[in-house]
């Protein structure tokens, strides 16, 4: 079985995000970048499926600027077999990404797509669902457990009311939630081996997709600074402030 895992280069989750002075976007110049954490979980799940003998080939795909090759190298060091970079300077939106992933799925003969449920930079949570719709494949989103057997994927989903288990006939699209697994650290030997693994580069035009944005960002701003708290002398004063100032009772 051939697997495709989409991996996105984002601002590292440990970095305090800053807005550009002109309010046009988030500052990324000189900022540490890394793989989207949910995509790390997706790569780990793909590698575990290969270790079980279910998957035979893991393709890691990233889209964006040349530096996205670093993200693919991380996926290769974790256990992916090869990588493809769709190189573009365009600001990519979920629909364009889904269209390009569809083209790669068809071209590469992919039977299962695993990706993070969302990226921590824009929190869109839309690409996996769009890809499934474009392919006409079943989808298992917010997966916290995946079992594959007899041409089907049994996916346990995290939903508002608890857990839901769905059976998906392969091929299918699965998006990984936080509790699906704990990603492994890439060992030094695997990091060295990853340097020798193949990363092919294509463009959106090669895939027949126009990545031009459909949305326009009007303004990006930081959340307002929280006011400092105060101490009250007694319960009566607390109730008074909750009723007359906060107006929550």
**Nearest-angstrom CA–CA distance, 147 and 142:** 14
- The partner residues of 152 in beta bridges, in order of sequence, read 149, 169
Q: How many CA atoms lie within 13 A of 196 on its CB side?
A: 4
104 Cβ contact list (under 8 Å, min separation 6): 4, 59, 61, 84, 86, 110, 207
Q: What domains, with CATH codes, occur in the chain? A: 2-244 (3.40.50.620)
pLDDT tens for the chain, 249 residues long, are 999 999 999 999 998 888 888 888 888 888 899 999 999 999 999 999 999 999 999 999 999 999 999 999 999 999 999 999 999 998 899 999 999 999 999 999 999 999 999 999 989 999 999 999 999 999 999 999 999 999 999 999 998 889 999 999 999 999 999 999 999 988 899 999 998 888 999 999 999 999 998 888 889 888 888 888 889 899 999 999 999 988 888
Cβ partners under 8 Å of residue 26, min gap 6: 11, 17, 18, 19, 20, 121, 220
Q: CB neighbours of 76 closer than 8 A, spacing ≥ 6?
A: 60, 82, 83, 193, 194, 197, 199
Say if CB 161 and CB 142 are below 8 A apart.
Answer: no
Contact 110, 171 (CB under 8 A): yes
pTM of the model: 0.86
Do the beta carbons of residue 66 and residue 182 sit within 8 Å? no
Question: Distance between CA 25 and CA 53 in Å, rounded?
Answer: 44
Structural tokens at position 186: 């890439």
């Amino acid at each position: 079985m051939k697997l495709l895992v989409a991996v996105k280069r984002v601002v590292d989750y440990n970095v305090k995000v800053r807005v550009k002075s002109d309010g046009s976007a988030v500052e990324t110049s000189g900022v540490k970048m890394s793989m989207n954490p949910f995509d790390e979980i997706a790569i780990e799940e793909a590698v575990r499926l290969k270790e079980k003998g279910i998957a035979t080939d893991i393709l890691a795909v990233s889209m964006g600027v040349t530096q996205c090759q670093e993200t693919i190298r991380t996926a290769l060091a974790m256990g992916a077999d090869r990588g493809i970079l769709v190189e573009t300077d365009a600001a990519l939106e979920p629909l364009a990404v889904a269209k390009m992933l569809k083209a790669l799925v068809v071209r590469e003969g992919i039977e299962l797509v695993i990706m993070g449920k969302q990226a921590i930079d824009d929190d869109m949570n839309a690409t996996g669902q769009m890809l499934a719709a474009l392919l006409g494949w079943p989808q298992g989103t917010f997966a916290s457990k995946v079992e594959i057997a007899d041409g089907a994927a049994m996916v346990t989903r995290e939903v508002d009311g608890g857990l839901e288990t769905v059976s998906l006939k392969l091929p299918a699209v699965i998006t990984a939630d936080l509790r699906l697994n704990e990603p492994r650290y890439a060992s030094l030997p695997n990091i060295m081996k990853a340097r020798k693994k193949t990363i092919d580069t294509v463009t959106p035009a090669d895939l027949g997709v126009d990545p031009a944005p459909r949305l326009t960002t009007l303004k990006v701003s930081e959340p307002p600074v929280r006011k400092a708290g105060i101490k009250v002398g007694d319960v009566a004063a607390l109730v008074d402030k909750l009723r007359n100032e906060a107006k929550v009772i």
